[in-house]
Amino acid sequence: MIPALILFLISFLMFVMSLSLVYRALRDPATNRVLDRLGEGQPVIAQKPLSVAWLDRAFLQAGLGRPSDRLGLWLGIWAVVAVLAGLLGGWAYFLIFVVLPPLLLRLYVSWRYQRRVRRMVEQLPQLLDHCVRSLKAGRTLSDAVLHAIESSSDPLKSSISRVSRNVQLGVSLPEAVEDFAELYERDEFRMFALGLKVNHRYGGNASELLENLILLIRERDQGARKLKAMTGETRVTAMVLAVLPLLVGGYFMLTNPSYLTKVWSDPSGQHMLLTAVALQAIGCLGLWRMVRSI
């Protein structure tokens, strides 16, 4: 019975892959590549939703590219693995493989985005300082920003290069930087875009504006570092309180495995353990929200 089911699942996966290949063959690849490049370069007005899907947006923020081209294939593989796990291990394994992969993917993408955008904010004052030096050397504001983008390093260079593409497509520099700021959703980038928009509309000393912006970003970073140092004890306490029940449970499993097994075999013990797990999850969520609110 099980080999027949496995053979059926393999054939179903091959059928899904064949449909995906036929669909991609029916499309004009050259035309779609041109349209994709043009779509990436178009500015996004603040009052309208972003043109990319939420999954593409999250992966683009994390620097992982666009997953929508092979989304059907990945979903098919995920469904087949979940079904196989359910057939071989039961409903528990099926639910684990249904819930766990999207959750882990979400956590990884969020962690990758936070780490990447933090590094980009750290590199932003260097880019602005390069713009100031170029302005004092006689360049225009647009040339100074574009030259600074070319001279920057990754991950900021690969991310902010969409500004250069937008400008080459005829978009004004303030609108291009605003599109970049709205994509990565950081106040530092929004302040940069706002400063360029104000200078573009009303004029003024651009080098002085950028110097003040550099000072503001560095002061914000210094204040954030001081706050992180002052709240270090609170964060460590939250981590200890969250991990301690798990360590105690692991200790019981190593020293006396039959203890928890007997508790789980009793109906009242099951209720007690499930209640403890629920309270642990609620407590971790509460501690995480408290630490995030500091």
Which helix (H) or strand (E) element contains residue 3?
Answer: helix 2-26
Helices (H), 66-205: 71-89, 91-136, 141-151, 156-168, 173-184, 187-202
170 phi-psi bin (left φ>0, alpha ψ -120 to 50, beta other): left
**What's the pLDDT tens digit per position in 227-268?**
878 877 777 887 888 788 888 888 888 888 787 778 778 888
Residues 116, 188, 140, 198: is their CA dihedral positive or negative? positive
Our CA dihedral for 166, 168, 170, 174, rounded to 10 degrees, sits at 50
Q: Which of 4-13, 33-42, 252-261 has the lowest mean pLDDT?
A: 33-42
Distance CA 78, CA 86 (A): 12
For residue 191, CA distances in Å to 17, 82, 197, 213 come to 46, 46, 10, 8
* pTM listed for this prediction: 0.63
**What's the pLDDT tens digit per position in 185-214?**
888 899 888 888 888 888 778 888 888 989
CB atoms within 10 A of CB 116: 20
